[in-house]
Structure 1
Amino acid sequence: VKEVIVQRNELAQCIRKDYNRRQFYNLDETLTMKFFNSKKTDEKFLTTSLNDDFIYSQMLIDCLIGTTPVSNDKNELVALCKRQYKNNSDELNILEEFEKDYLPERSLWWYTRHSFLYRLMNKAFRIENIDLLLLFRFFIRDIRQQLIKNKAASAIRAYRGQFICKEDLELLTKFSGEFISMNSFLLASSDYEQTRSSLLSFTSSYQIEKVLFEINANPQSDNLRAFSNITSFSYYRNKEEVLFMIGSIFRLVRIDRDINGIWHIQLNLCANNDHPLQSFIQQKKNEFDILDTDLISLGFILEHMNKLDDAEKYYRFVINQLPKDHNDRDRCYHALGEVTQKKGDYDASLKWYKKSIENDLQTSKEDNPNIATSYNSIAVVYSRKGDYALALESYRKALEIWKKTLGEDHPDVAMCYNNMGIIYHEEGKYSDALEFYHKSWNIRQKHLPVENRSLGQLHACIGNVHCRLRNYDLALEHYNLSLEAFEKSFLSHYPDVPMVLRNMGLVCQAKNQYQQALVYLKKAATVYRQSISATHPDIVQIEKTIRYVSSKL
């Protein structure tokens, strides 16, 4: 109990004062943090989506910064805010002032004012509202330019007081020594005593912890996200403030608790060459064929973040903006095929892939590798629909183009062989399936290390065919090679692993080797339990099989 107050007006005044103080010190503002685990030996974290979330968020921020704002963005943002705050006269007055007087060089002043701009933009970052963030592009770029223009001349140490939930604190503790990024602007203070005393002056509630971040940053490091002491530009001139750019990456150096119950967390701002993340980010960009920070690239990122409706919307928007003969139309058509395929709308997916081919044929030769990619995608859709004859026909068209333009030993040719093997497997044509799986393996083993995930999956497919043919020893041989590839890739909790272990158990069961079957089945059950619930059909089925095999001993 902080105080006992009996007068209603006095109580309201006390609550308002307490609220304003908490707002002034940013204590209640939710921090949007992303986490990256670089320890390849820590398999549990690698099997989560945390690393991918981290990388996607960095790529998304790069797109927001890199895409050029539309001249009407500010007007649209103002119109949206007027609707949002139509019953709030105070905010409408500030909004009118912003509409009339805003200048890029005053962006820091506006950000620190804690008005609709501050709240709405931070919320957009927190919930990843892409439409709203795009409207804020002009404001984000203006702030970034001011941070770059007024960057600190020497190393700084800043502090941030924060209330956070116990779950977030546990996550921070687990990631000690690792990397975190802030997916919004991070406002901190140069005054340690003021930050600490502000935390001490408030009582934290149940499940909420007090945290004091100590942030060290050196402007001499290369390729930093921008940061600056913004005291002279701030709305509150009596606050010594430092602002860090969205997407700033920190190494979590230390975390401990003092006698007053405040958790102290030391963060060091990282430059690109201080951490291994840039190679991961570049790898993802290459994987997604992201060539630039444009709206198409934004669509690719959103698609892989599983924000399919947003991705589809931006692809359609770009198509409507492009001339009929523009090369990027093909990229958008193909991307729309991917999105609608992922949404399960196979007829729409086929329409977009075929439109991509039509567009390519109008602007390039028939043996364009992009056309082969579209044929391969069409084949995947037909196979999902169960139309294996049309799937094989499209794979053959893709294969012919790739072999002609890329050569017999190209990885895309290997992928096509593998996909055709899957079709033959589904059709029960096991000899043909083995032939095409081995064709794929012969190419892939020239390009990939033995521990590659793709080789692990391929060995599992070959093992499955031998299992169907009752070549049990060969099946076990390839299953073991599959597990070896996954384990060397630090993917021993990869979703395919428990399926391989289960199949090994079933093979041993078929050979009446019940003791060994039980070993594999129990291992499979252990891995399954780490990623799916106890009531999942896979868990229920494997436990049933374990009981049956146990009864045979």
Structure 2
Amino acid sequence: MMSTNTENLETFYLISFRNLIDSELYEQLQTIINYVVLFDDEEQCLQYIQSLTKDDRIFVIIKDNSSSQFVSQLVTLRQIVFIYIYTKKSSEQLTKNSKKIRDVFSQRDQLFQRIQADYTERSLQKLDEPFVYSIFTANTNQSVSMNTNFIHFQILIDCLICIKSSPNDKKDLISRCKQQYRQKSNEATILEEFEKDYRPERCLQWYTRCRFLDRILKKALQVQNIEILLLFRFLIQDLVEQFKSNKSLPSQRVYRAQLLSKTELDLLQKRTGEFLSMNIFLLANTSREQTRSFLLSLPTYDQTEKVLLEIHSNPRMHDVSHALCSSKEEVLFLIGSIFRMTYIERDHDGIWNIHLMLCSRKQHQLQTVIEQKRNELDIEETDLLSIGFLLQDMEKFDQAEKYYLHLLDQLSKDQEDLSRCYHALGEVMQKKGEYDSCLTWYNKALEAYKSDESGTAMSYNSMAIVYSKKRDYKLALKFFNKALNIWSSVLGEDHPDVAMCWNNIGIINQEEAKYTDALECYHKAWNIRQKCLSSDHPSLGQLHACIGNVNYQLRRYDLALDHYNSSIEIWKKTLGSHYLDMGVIYRNIGLVYRDKGDFQQALVHMKKAESIYRQVCSPTHHQVLQIEKLVNDISSKT
């Protein structure tokens, strides 16, 4: 495989084969689509295309003797825009297979001109721009992961807006763009002007003029390329400041033309009434007729629907979210703007109308939910480490590791942040199951904390958790007790961190079948948490679960059920009905009933656990497979 750059910052690709494209044509094609990839065989080509995201868009040049199986697979892929047949002889048979097969070309100039015209048309019409969004549903019976994605993105945007940009961000972004567009003279010229003349007060004009910046940012948001997104901080922050000056904009309706796959449209129809976060800067038009006329002029594509977004905005009633562009006919909505989908309907011309109402985070307690997640991630003040914490919570551990390692160079003068970064790297390696590497980072954090007793205790506690996972319970207890002694001395006997230590020591005793000692530790943790936490705090639910587990091991089934049910009552109030650990509790209740011989009740609770696992985990997750086996085993006994 041969490609123009190591990374494509846009969604467009041009793909072909080495024995079809010579060096002269290769360089010509780069002036249209900067990212050109050549392959040696069809299988390699197909595998590469299938590895790309659903929002990437590809122009393909193939030979006239390409296999019919290869061509038939290409035309079914959502990413393929057009297929061009480049040959010295006619091949009409292939052109009849699909609308995606553009034509047969025997002259390179004709081929070049056709691709150039097609790309220009689709770029101007924005037909291939990704429609990147996330949904928040108030229905607790719906997927937890959907709301999690929504909340994660809102926090990511907060980070990009609040974390001060580096003086080198603009310089580094321009450098990346120059590398990306070195064969495209128009973009290169605009880049030179941008580098020389950009001013924060004119950010909106520059953003709407530099279409390639918009395309790069959209791709970075779509794939959550943190490295690129951080380079855009200066522009995003400048745009936010400019948006703040638009509070006096009148209430208005604006419109946007969009092509959506039938699958995407079906999903949105099922979510009518829910909240929608636009995970891009969304550009809309003030003219409904102009936008509809544009949609009507478009050809109909396979598995694609024409959609008109009708947006009602009122900046005086909501958070600052949009700005009028210099053309006065376009409105740009801030990245992360939240809308409620009020209804979706199809008109007599076959255009789907999606009605959106601009909302505030304050509606339906969205801000409360977001703040809860920030507290859970220990993001009290947004700083550079916050993005790493977010990546960890998104389970993007490789990205988080890469991010923290890059961050170490920037934190060399700040001892507190340096020690936090070491500790965060330890957490990442722990979650990746690389325990030896994890302990190395925790030891670095321990050295860096030095006189910070709370930080030292946290490192001891984390190291103890790793040793417990390695089943080295002796060392685990040693470090838990070190943490316990420091926290008890520094924070007092009744602090939540002291309770956490007792809880962890109880888990070690439980693993070693020292059930009496385990219960003693759990009750010490319970007494502390009752004093300093609310009666429905999730930590009390977790302790009920632990005490329930010990009683189950001791075959005190009724006591175990009492604690499991108390855990469920607390978690339902605070974490919702589809929290993953809730599934674990339902499973444990099922096991209690199974051991008591009440298979009917065992099956009821196993199915509740199965329902939660299916919503939160992938179909192949080990917990899903395990619960399916338990359900089948118990079903055979009822």
Bin for the TM-score computed over the shorter chain: 0.7 to 0.9
Deviations along 1:71-107, one digit per CA (max 9) or x if unpaired, are 3323322222222223333333333343344443443
| Matched residue, 1:76 | 172
Shift in Å, 1:429? 0.9
Identity %: 53
Are 1:153 and 2:242 an aligned pair?
Answer: no
| Matched residue, 2:142 | 44
Q: Say whether the 8 Å CA contact 2:318–2:358 is kept in structure 1.
A: no
Q: Say whether the 8 Å CA contact 2:254–2:284 is kept in structure 1.
A: yes
Are 1:231 and 2:326 an aligned pair?
Answer: yes
Deviations along 1:254-275, one digit per CA (max 9) or x if unpaired, are 2222122212122222234445
Larger CA deviation: 509-518 vs 58-67: 509-518
Using the size of structure 2 for normalisation, the TM-score is 0.76
Separation in 2, partners of 1:135, 1:289 = 24
| Matched residue, 2:602 | 517
Q: Say whether the 8 Å CA contact 2:282–2:334 is kept in structure 1.
A: yes
Deviations along 1:146-187, one digit per CA (max 9) or x if unpaired, are 333455532222111101122322332233222221222111
Deviations along 1:354-398, one digit per CA (max 9) or x if unpaired, are 332333324x4xxx3332222211111111111111111111122
Matches within 5 A, 1:154-169: 154-169=250-265
| Matched residue, 2:502 | 417
- Could you tell me which of 459, 462, 468 is aligned with 1:377? 462
Separation in 2, partners of 1:525, 1:323 = 48
| Matched residue, 1:264 | 353
- Could you tell me which of 266, 285, 296 is aligned with 1:170? 266
- Could you tell me which of 470, 474, 486 is aligned with 2:555? 470
Separation in 2, partners of 1:176, 1:333 = 45
Q: Say whether the 8 Å CA contact 2:140–2:576 is kept in structure 1.
A: no
| Matched residue, 1:249 | 338
Q: How many residues align?
A: 538
Larger CA deviation: 97-106 vs 531-540: 531-540
Specify whether residues 535 and 81 from structure 1 end up closer, same or farther in structure 2 by C-alpha distance, changes over 3 A only.
closer
Separation in 2, partners of 1:52, 1:538 = 20
Q: Say whether the 8 Å CA contact 1:211–1:264 is kept in structure 2.
A: yes
Are 1:204 and 2:315 an aligned pair?
Answer: no
Q: Say whether the 8 Å CA contact 1:224–1:272 is kept in structure 2.
A: no
Specify whether residues 164 and 222 from structure 1 end up closer, same or farther in structure 2 by C-alpha distance, changes over 3 A only.
closer
| Matched residue, 2:222 | 126
| Matched residue, 1:32 | 132
What residue identity is the alignment partner of 2:194? Answer: F
Separation in 2, partners of 1:300, 1:358 = 22
Separation in 2, partners of 1:286, 1:547 = 40
Shift in Å, 1:194? 0.2
Deviations along 1:111-158, one digit per CA (max 9) or x if unpaired, are 223542222122112211111122222232333333334555322221
Specify whether residues 15 and 193 from structure 1 end up closer, same or farther in structure 2 by C-alpha distance, changes over 3 A only.
farther
Are 1:287 and 2:376 an aligned pair?
Answer: yes
CA RMSD in angstroms comes to 3.2
Q: Say whether the 8 Å CA contact 2:243–2:320 is kept in structure 1.
A: no
Separation in 2, partners of 1:541, 1:303 = 26
Equivalent residue of 1:44, what SS? Answer: coil
Specify whether residues 476 and 138 from structure 1 end up closer, same or farther in structure 2 by C-alpha distance, changes over 3 A only.
closer
Separation in 1, partners of 2:404, 2:133 = 28
| Matched residue, 1:300 | 389
- Could you tell me which of 166, 180, 194 is aligned with 1:98? 194
Separation in 2, partners of 1:329, 1:541 = 41
Q: Say whether the 8 Å CA contact 1:250–1:269 is kept in structure 2.
A: yes
Specify whether residues 259 and 14 from structure 1 end up closer, same or farther in structure 2 by C-alpha distance, changes over 3 A only.
farther
Using the size of structure 1 for normalisation, the TM-score is 0.87
Separation in 1, partners of 2:536, 2:411 = 43
| Matched residue, 1:401 | 486
Separation in 2, partners of 1:508, 1:222 = 52
Deviations along 1:466-514, one digit per CA (max 9) or x if unpaired, are 2221222222222332333344446333333343333333333333334
Separation in 1, partners of 2:594, 2:324 = 68
Larger CA deviation: 25-34 vs 506-515: 506-515
Separation in 1, partners of 2:284, 2:625 = 51
Specify whether residues 292 and 488 from structure 1 end up closer, same or farther in structure 2 by C-alpha distance, changes over 3 A only.
closer
Equivalent residue of 2:480, what SS? Answer: helix
Shift in Å, 1:317? 4.1
Question: Which structure 2 segments of 5+ residues have no match?
Answer: 1-97
